[in-house]
């Protein structure tokens, strides 16, 4: 028996959004873009910080951003 490959990031986001929309019971969401970007970005920073065991220099390298930007985003998400 072969394992099926995990869903792509895009597929996971689409599935999550479908679930979210269904949970609204017909109500229209507001500020959806802002909410999705915030949630995805926070998860990204949490995951990378875990991957790099809290090493901000390595996390900034993995993310392709400078360390000052990383620190600002970590503060935004209360991850410092």
Domain at 37-80, CATH homologous superfamily: Homeodomain-like (1.10.10.60)
Would you say the pTM of this structure is higher than 0.85?
no
Report the pLDDT value the prediction gives residue 1, as an integer from 0 to 100.
72
CA–CA separation, 32 vs 21, rounded Å?
A: 11
Q: Where are the domains of the chain?
A: 37-80
CB of 80 closer than 8 Å to CB of 74? yes
Give per-residue pLDDT as tens, 8-60.
Answer: 999 999 999 999 999 999 999 999 999 999 999 999 999 999 999 999 999 99
Q: Which of 55, 77, 56, 79 is nearest to 67 (CA)?
A: 56
């Amino acid at each position: 028996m072969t394992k099926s490959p995990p869903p792509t990031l895009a597929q996971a986001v689409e599935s999550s959004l479908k679930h979210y929309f269904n949970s609204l019971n017909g109500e229209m969401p507001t500020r959806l873009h802002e909410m999705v970007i915030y949630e995805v970005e926070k998860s990204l920073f949490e995951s990378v910080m875990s991957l790099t065991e809290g090493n901000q220099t390595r996390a900034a390298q993995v993310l392709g951003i400078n360390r000052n930007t990383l620190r600002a985003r970590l503060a935004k998400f209360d991850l410092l």
